[in-house]
Amino acid sequence: VEPDPTNREAAAAALAEVRRRRRQVATAGHHGRRILLAWAALPLLTLPWFDYVPVSVAGTMVAVAAVLFATAVAVYAAGRRLVPRGGTRRYVLTAAAGSAAYVALVLLAATAARQVPHVWTLAGVLESLPWAAGALVDRLLE
Amino acid sequence: VSHPRHGLDELLQHPVRFSIVALLAASEQAEFGLVRDLVEVSDSVLSRQVATLEQAGHVRVHKGYVGRRPRTWLSLTPLGRSRFAAHVASLEAIVRAAGPAAERARTR
């Protein structure tokens, strides 16, 4: 069958439409990335408190901040109007990596607290990395 | 050898339906109002086309609430996703097949 050039033009236009819609979804689906970046900021802003205030005070502040933050994220996530394809899987994988890193870093920091100066600040920086990496991957896959 | 156009899904030949499905193919789920705004159609047009796609098993419609606000979510079913993938593959085949033929016609 000889291909019909009109068909080719129509097919090319349809494929351009597919690319256009993908771009629209990538633009409209940036909320997931914002959530990942927000989770990256939380340890960066809270864990260093352990270096500067008594442990009991810092622990209470971190716990309160985490609860408030998790509530805010849940409210923000519920208001999302679009979830890009693979967005949930990327979020779950990043959350798993971030949570595992958090437990390991807190245990390490608690062990090395007396030997290493500013160890909690370092732990906060390191803990933010998996979340920031997740956000970067999300941006690259856009 | 059959022409790649035989692989096209008739339901997706409609431009609005094609745009809706192309949008949903890149998403896990999308809210009705957002799809309406992005595809640039009215509520009634979107409802009609979504109903057609739902009847054919291409699209799933589910309703929920965000706070007290009702929300309608749209997503592609596995059938819709595979039909769309086959449709896009046929479009790509048409473009590829037409390339050398169009070149031959120009140089004839």
Q: Is the pLDDT of residue A2 over 50?
A: no
A121: which 2 tokens? 């600040």
> Which of B18, B26, B67 has its CB closest to that of A14?
B18
Give the model confidence (pLDDT) of A93-105 as tens digits.
988 998 999 999 9
Closest by Cα among A83, A42, A96, A79 to A64: A42
pLDDT above 90: percentage of residues in chain A: 44
Q: Which residues of chain B have pLDDT under 50?
A: none
* pLDDT single digits (tens) B62-78: 998 887 888 999 999 99
Q: Cα dist. A16→A8, A140, B17 in Å?
A: 12, 21, 15
ipTM, two decimals: 0.85
Tokens of B2: 């059959």
A14 contacts on B by Cβ (under 8 Å): 18, 91
Quote the pLDDT of residue A3: 41
Task: Give the chain A residue whose CA is nearest to the CA of B23.
Answer: A21
Measured between beta carbons, which residues in chain A are less than 8 angstroms from residue B92? Answer: 11, 15
Among A81, A138, A141, which would you mutate to test the B interface (most chain B Cβ atoms within 10 Å of its Cβ)? A81
Q: What is the pLDDT of residue B104?
A: 59
pLDDT, one tens digit per residue, over A55-87 is 899 999 999 999 999 999 888 888 889 999 988
